[in-house]
């Protein structure tokens, strides 16, 4: 593209001139462009080097002067402060330095400055002046240092002028010499070849083309052009005779191509029919699964309610006749029915997580989690919790499903951090190798990674129910929601050191090896 642009530029500027002059123009243009680029790179390198020196000097000021200025300001030694500022302002490229006492500490803050403060072409650094007291460090003022870039720019301008002038003269002289060589060795012979080509007639026999060069050089590119032209003139007559054969072969090729296109269309139609058939079968299977889940939950709840009803009647009517062991059995029956009811509800939630149409929209995940955090704080006001939620975390997800997902993850983190003196939870995302990875982190009990392969299975738990409540279905639901959003979920943990759950969304490559997920707790 760039070559075509330059060719168009040269032809439009010098239309009607010979190739030698256009070549001269292009040589000068390209050489100037390369000179400008090289000069810009060199100037930028010098600028970065000078800027690095100034920044190093500013860093040295912080390490060398800040301690003594802190002591002088604390003792209100104005004479010493002025000497120190004078020393800073005498450093190379340092334009101004000032010390200002913290206005929060005194009503009439002290301010001392050296040099002229400007707003253009400067680097400004402010260093807090801290004094160590018995109760800890205290900021008593601010040191402001301004470094000027004017001398840096002046040096760069002078260097740019020298480079451009020297390179420009050299480029022009070299271009003239190249123009002379090209005209002598190439252009004159190209004119002769063009005159012969313009007189060529395929119906007439002509003597071979030859160049008159004194002394005759070794065969070069011009000789190759001449030989190619002579060969072409011999072959054109033969090519004409074979033209009809070529036309016939071309017609056959077109027919074969059309047949191949028709076959591709037929195969595409068959494939579309199979896709529609598989889609219909999948929809029917999903409907049957939904009906099965509803029937199972309904059929299980009825006998469960009867068991609980008879237990209550037995407890109400025969409470005085049942001994302590019998009361224990009745309580165990009540706990079992309650646990069974929770398992039925969890089973239904897991089923719903894989059904229903996704309504993807941009959802503010930070706002959802902040509302959940407020509800948990109100539910347990006595728990000390530090919750860090990154602001403005948005993602293209289904709001309903992701509310369920975040609720399960946050409830998981809150539950397993209940034994800590301070509950620490955090949520956010990080960019890694061009991929956005979201995380939910807690400081809870954690788990042993060698048992990770059990945790995404429904109703699978690593902790006893006496330690933490739950039926082991929450993160199985989370995994299915993440899968429906085209992502993956995994976790990292150590016993007693908390856990971090990571998940991604809408991965470009959905093919991944099974077992890459480090699973989570349920």
How does pLDDT run across 123-178, given as a tens digit for each residue?
888 888 888 887 888 888 888 888 888 878 888 888 888 888 887 787 778 777 77
287 has a pLDDT exceeding 50: yes
* Per-residue confidence (pLDDT) for residue 371, from 0 to 100: 92
Q: What is the pLDDT of residue 326?
A: 79
Say which DSSP state 321 is in. T
Residue 299 above 50 pLDDT?
yes
Q: Which residue, 449, 450, 473, is CA-closest to 461?
A: 473
Nearest to 39 by CA among 152, 151, 155, 159: 159
pLDDT at residue 441, as a whole number: 93
Residues 104-119 pLDDT 10s: 777 778 888 887 766 6
Note the pLDDT of residue 520: 36
- List, by residue range, all CATH 3.30.565.10 domains of the chain: 358-503
3-state secondary structure of 146: strand
Predicted TM-score (pTM) of this structure? 0.39
pLDDT of residue 461: 54
Which segments of the chain belong to CATH 1.10.287? 242-352
Select from 243, 222, 225 the least CA-distant residue to 233. 225
Structure tokens at 289: 């699964």
Q: Give the tokens for residue 502.
A: 């990571």
Looking at residues 185-208, what average pLDDT do you find? Answer: 71
State the Cα–Cα distance between residues 451 and 490, nearest whole angstrom.
Answer: 13
Comparing 492 with 182, the larger pLDDT belongs to: 492
Q: How confident is the model at residue 468 (pLDDT cuts 50, 70, 90)?
A: very low
Residue whose token pair is 């050299």: 170
The dotted CATH code for 358-503 is: 3.30.565.10
> Top-level CATH class of 242-352?
mainly alpha
pLDDT averaged over every residue in the chain: 76
> For residue range 326-379, what is the model confidence (pLDDT) as tens digits?
777 777 787 777 766 666 666 666 566 556 677 889 999 999 999 999 998 888
15 vs 510, more confident: 15
pLDDT at 416: 83
- Of residues 288 and 519, the one with the higher pLDDT is 288
């Amino acid at each position: 593209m760039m070559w075509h642009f330059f060719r168009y530029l040269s032809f439009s500027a010098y239309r009607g001139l010979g190739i030698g002059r256009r070549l001269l123009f292009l040589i000068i243009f390209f050489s100037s462009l390369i000179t400008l680029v090289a000069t810009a790179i060199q100037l930028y390198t010098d600028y970065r080097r000078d800027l690095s020196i100034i920044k190093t000097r500013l860093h040295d000021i912080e390490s060398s002067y800040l301690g003594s200025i802190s002591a002088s300001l604390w003792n209100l030694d104005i004479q010493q402060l002025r000497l120190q500022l004078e020393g800073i302002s005498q450093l190379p490229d340092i334009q101004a330095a000032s010390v200002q006492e913290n206005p929060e500490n005194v009503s009439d803050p002290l301010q001392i400055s050296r040099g002229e403060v400007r707003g253009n072409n400067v680097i400004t650094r402010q260093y807090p002046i801290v004094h160590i007291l018995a109760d800890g460090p205290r900021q008593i003022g601010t040191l402001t240092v301004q470094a000027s870039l004017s001398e840096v720019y002046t040096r760069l301008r002078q260097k740019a002028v020298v480079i451009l002038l020297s390179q420009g003269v050299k480029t022009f002289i070299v271009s003239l010499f190249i123009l002379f060589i090209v005209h002598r060795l190439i252009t004159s012979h190209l004119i002769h070849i063009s005159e012969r080509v313009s007189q060529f007639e395929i119906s007439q026999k002509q003597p071979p083309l030859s160049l008159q060069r004194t002394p005759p050089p070794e065969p070069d590119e011009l000789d190759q052009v001449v030989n190619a032209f002579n060969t072409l003139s011999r072959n054109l007559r033969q090519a004409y005779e074979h033209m009809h054969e070529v036309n016939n072969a071309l017609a056959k090729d077109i027919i074969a191509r059309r047949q191949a296109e028709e076959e591709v269309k037929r195969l595409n139609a068959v494939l579309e029919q199979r896709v529609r058939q598989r889609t219909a079968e999948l929809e029917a299977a999903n409907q049957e699964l939904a009906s099965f889940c509803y029937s199972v939950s309904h059929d299980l709840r009825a006998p469960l309610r009867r068991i609980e009803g008879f237990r209550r009647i037995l407890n109400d009517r025969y409470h005085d006749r049942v001994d302590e062991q019998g009361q224990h059995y009745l309580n165990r029956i009540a706990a079992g029915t309650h646990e069974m009811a929770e398992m039925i509800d969890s089973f239904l939630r897991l089923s719903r997580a894989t059904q229903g149409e996704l309504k993807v929209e941009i959802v503010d995940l930070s706002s959802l989690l902040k509302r959940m955090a407020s509800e948990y704080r109100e539910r347990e006001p006595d728990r000390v919790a530090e919750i860090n939620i990154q602001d403005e975390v948005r993602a293209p997800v289904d709001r309903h499903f992701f509310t369920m997902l975040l609720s399960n993850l946050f409830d998981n983190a809150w539950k397993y951090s209940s034994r800590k003196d301070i509950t620490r939870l955090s949520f956010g995302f990080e960019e890694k190798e061009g991929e956005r990875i979201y995380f939910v982190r807690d400081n809870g009990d954690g788990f042993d990674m060698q048992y990770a392969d059990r945790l995404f299975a429904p109703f699978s738990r690593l902790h006893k129910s006496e330690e933490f409540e739950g039926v082991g279905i929450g993160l199985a639901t989370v995994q299915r929601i993440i899968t429906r959003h085209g992502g993956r979920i995994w976790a990292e943990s150590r016993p007693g050191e908390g856990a971090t759950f990571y998940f991604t969304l809408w991965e470009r490559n959905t093919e991944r090896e099974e077992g890459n997920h480090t699973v989570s707790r349920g």
